[in-house]
Amino acid sequence: MASTSSSVASLPLPAAGAEARAEASALDASTRAPVLVFFLSGLAWLLAATVLALITSFKLHTPGFLDGAAWLTYGRVQPAALNALVYGWSTNAALAVAFWLMARLSRAPLRCGGALLVAACFWNLGVTLGVIGILAGDSTAAPWLEMPPYATPLLFVAYALIAVWALDTFRSRRPGPVYVSQWYLLAALFCFPWLYSIAQIMVVFDPARGVVQALVNWWYVNNLMTLWFMPLGLAAAYYFIPKVLGKPIHSYYLSTLGFWSLLIFGSWAGPHYLIGGPLPAWLISAGVAASMLLLIPVVVTAINLHLTLLGSFRALRSSPTLRFVVFGGMNFTLACLLGTLVSVRSVSEVTHFTHFAEARVLQGLYGFFAMVMFGAAYYVLPRLLLKEWPSAVLIRLHFWAAALGATLYWVALSVGGWIQGQEMNQAATPFLEVVQHTLPWLFAGSIAWILLAIGHLALAVNVVWMLFAPRPAGATEPTLFPPPAGAPGMVHR
């Protein structure tokens, strides 16, 4: 429930009343088909990515595992898993949440959802072709852009449709303040096509000369995180945390500062991925400086979200959405602080090229982004299907498996990566010995992926169960963790 205050920092929907609820459910209904299709295809990709990531992870410590065929070799399964996770799960889920948020916040129904269904078909066809292409050996070998050039044009067609409809919804918004989540949504929806086109053109279709390719490539990877996944994740966090708690965001001014500083510094931080690489020092220094300055948006956003939550921590006990989103928010802070840390040259000297870097990527992509998307799904899906989640136990299982798995992965690979980096920098330690010493940590990484897989299965079972459960006749009670013992104002998931 939104606050009744007229502050611009509050959510635009007025306080609960029969009329407001009717409006909200009409808006939800307009987004039903596209949001469901994008979310369910995202979920399917999540399961596919989990299988591929499990194979990848096992191969790291047991190289003989499934090593008989080219399409199952580590170098192909690993990018296939990453692309399935980034373009399959994360982007599908992000778009589902973006449509729903855009309609709700603009108080404008999503028109012509049919075009979005076409977009969903194109997008998923593109990603399917891309992932199969990677496994078949058509990878471009450019990090995060491995999908072969015959798959990516489909993504452009899909994205054009998507952006047009999202912007159309924004343009037909009710007059009034534009909420902070909408800024983030607009920024992300606008930036993605530019980032992706520039990267595709300068790396794949008409490759730039020499190391400029690497510069564009890492600029893209960095910006995909800071200008696409982070804004979308934060848009959801800025919506769901106040929504579930029924109070406004702590500070409008902090939100503004956080927004613009994330865009400006985030978009410059890319070259820090190339510290020590064959590029001019000024380029790398610019990236390092921007990475340092990224502390501003991260700290500002963390304070803003934390102060919003302050005094309402009890709600974490009962609301699945809040629990996932807040866990994601904490990981956002952590992943960004780590990003700043590893762009210090003396730290990078150790962590660069090690599993530490890998752990940090998954921390952002999963610990932060995927967790926020899960939280959003627990809030949105019941409103679209007009049914409640069938099992609180499965939600609880999902949360703990995902939270433990993500944390274990991060801790294990960070510690292992740090040791690996230290030893690699001592030329006296033979390389094979360094490799041997990473094995226990890589093994722990596999256990972490098994935990994540359990969580994903729990989510999938719950979603399928919910889809096929009969719709109840009367009003329903939200599925919460413990029955809220008279917690005031807690009507949301």
Partner 1 sequence: MNRGPFLFLGILATLAFSWVGLIVAGEIQLGHLAPYYDPNEGSVNPYKPAGQAAQGRLVYADLGCAACHTQQVRRPGFGADTERGWGARQSVARDYVYEPRVLLGALRTGPDLRNIGARQTSADWHLLHLYDPQLTSPGTIMPSFRFLFHYRKTEAGQTSPRALKLPADYARQHGLDRPGYELVPTPRAEALVAYLLSLQDTYVYPEARPYTPPKAAAEAK
Among 47, 51, 75, 292, binds partner 1 (CB under 8 A): 75
The piece of 63-71, 234-242, 310-318, 484-492 that touches partner 1 (CB under 8 A) is 63-71
- Residues with Cβ < 8 Å from 175, sequence gap 6 or more? none
**Closest distance of CB 10 from partner 1, Å:** 14
- 8 Å CB contact between 204 and 140: yes
**Closest distance of CB 304 from partner 1, Å:** 15
- Contact status: 216 vs partner 1 (CB under 8 A): yes
Please classify residue 143 by burial: count the beta carbons closer than 10 Å to its beta carbon, then call 0-12 exposed, 13-18 middle and 19+ buried: middle
Among 74, 443, 465, 481, binds partner 1 (CB under 8 A): 74
**Closest distance of CB 323 from partner 1, Å:** 30
**Closest distance of CB 432 from partner 1, Å:** 5
**Closest distance of CB 401 from partner 1, Å:** 27
Interhelix angle 392-424/355-362, nearest 10 degrees: 150
- Pick out residues in 294-333 that bind partner 1 (CB under 8 A): none
- Contact status: 61 vs partner 1 (CB under 8 A): yes
- Pick out residues in 8-37 that bind partner 1 (CB under 8 A): 8
- Residues with Cβ < 8 Å from 376, sequence gap 6 or more? 93, 97, 100, 236, 240, 321, 325
- Contact status: 227 vs partner 1 (CB under 8 A): yes
- Pick out residues in 354-373 that bind partner 1 (CB under 8 A): 354-355, 357-358
Instruction: Name the one residue in this structure whose structure tokens are 């921590």.
Output: 313
What CA–CA distances, in Å, run from 137 to 128, 133, 154, 412, 444?
14, 6, 19, 31, 29
| Nearer Cβ to partner 1 (23/358) | 358
Binding mask 257-276 for partner 1 (x = CB under 8 A): ---x--xx--xx-xx-xx-x
**Closest distance of CB 235 from partner 1, Å:** 13
**Closest distance of CB 196 from partner 1, Å:** 12
| Nearer Cβ to partner 1 (210/311) | 210
What CA–CA distances, in Å, run from 491 to 15, 315, 466, 487?
13, 11, 20, 9
Give, in degrees to the nearest 5, the angle at Cα 475 between 474 and 481: 130
- 8 Å CB contact between 225 and 364: yes
Query: Closest by alpha carbon to 284, among 197, 203, 191, 348?
Result: 348
Query: Closest by alpha carbon to 239, among 180, 317, 170, 167?
Result: 180
- Pick out residues in 415-454 that bind partner 1 (CB under 8 A): 424-427, 431-432, 435-436, 439, 442
Binding mask 88-127 for partner 1 (x = CB under 8 A): ----------------------------------------
User: 112: alpha, beta or left, given left = phi > 0 and alpha = psi -120 to 50?
Assistant: left
- Pick out residues in 126-185 that bind partner 1 (CB under 8 A): 137-143, 170-171, 176-178, 183
Give the whole-angstrom CA distance, residue 219 versus residue 270.
4
